[in-house]
Structures are given as C-alpha cells and as structure tokens.
Amino acid sequence: MAFDERLAEQIRELLAGVPDVAEQKIFGGLAFMVGGNMAVGASGNGGMIVRVDPAQSDELVATTEARLMEMRGRTMRGWLRVDEPDDVEGWVVRGLAYAQSLPPKSR
C-alpha cells in the first residue's frame, strides 16, 4: 500500500513556512523531517506516524486514537501510529514541537 497523497499534502500545507523542513521517502511512506529529525509522516501502511516525547506516549495512547508504533514485533515509545487521524493539524503540531525540541542533526 502506498502512502495517502492527500494526507501528505495536508501535512505539507501545515508545515509550509516552518524552517528546515525536508521530505524523505522512507519505508514506503513519506516522512517530514525538521532539522533532520522526523516529526510526522504519511505511512506506507496508511494513516500517520507521529514522533512525540516518549514520556507522553502512554497518555496519548490512552486519550486519543493513537497507538504505539510497532516495528519488528516491538512497540516503540515516542512513535505513534494514527490510522485515521481526525485532527491532522493537532498531530502535526505535536510532532513538530517534539522534533523542534531535539538538537538538529548535521547533514
């Protein structure tokens, strides 16, 4: 399954004007990087991937439609999957805030 182009366009529009944003195809999806750190992405399996503070993972899973992302059978705190995001803007804001809180990666 390819990533949702409409979702990617929504994310792109929400990140317009944010400094140091780059798009990167990854694992069949499209990741939006800020300062070299992934913020959000349109997943190749559908829906969104959102990077958040790992300390907020449990609360967000309990209070939103998000679930922990699973990779190779392992759940990953700080990485959330949102299969059918109702609030794309809210998720982009969360992912952007976390990515901007990290030190930029050198390229």
**Fold that domain 5-101 belongs to in CATH:** Yope Regulator; Chain: A, (3.30.1460)
Nearest to 69 by CA among 27, 10, 21, 106: 27
Cβ contacts of 14 within 8 Å, gap of 6 or more: 88, 89, 92
Write down the pLDDT at residue 28.
87
30, 24 Cβ separation under 8 angstroms: yes
Q: How confident is the model at residue 72 (pLDDT cuts 50, 70, 90)?
A: confident
pLDDT tens profile 20-33: 999 999 888 999 99
- The pLDDT of 67-77, averaged and rounded, is 91
Where are the chain's structural domains? 5-101
- The pTM score is 0.93
Report d(CA 50, CA 42) in Å as an integer: 9
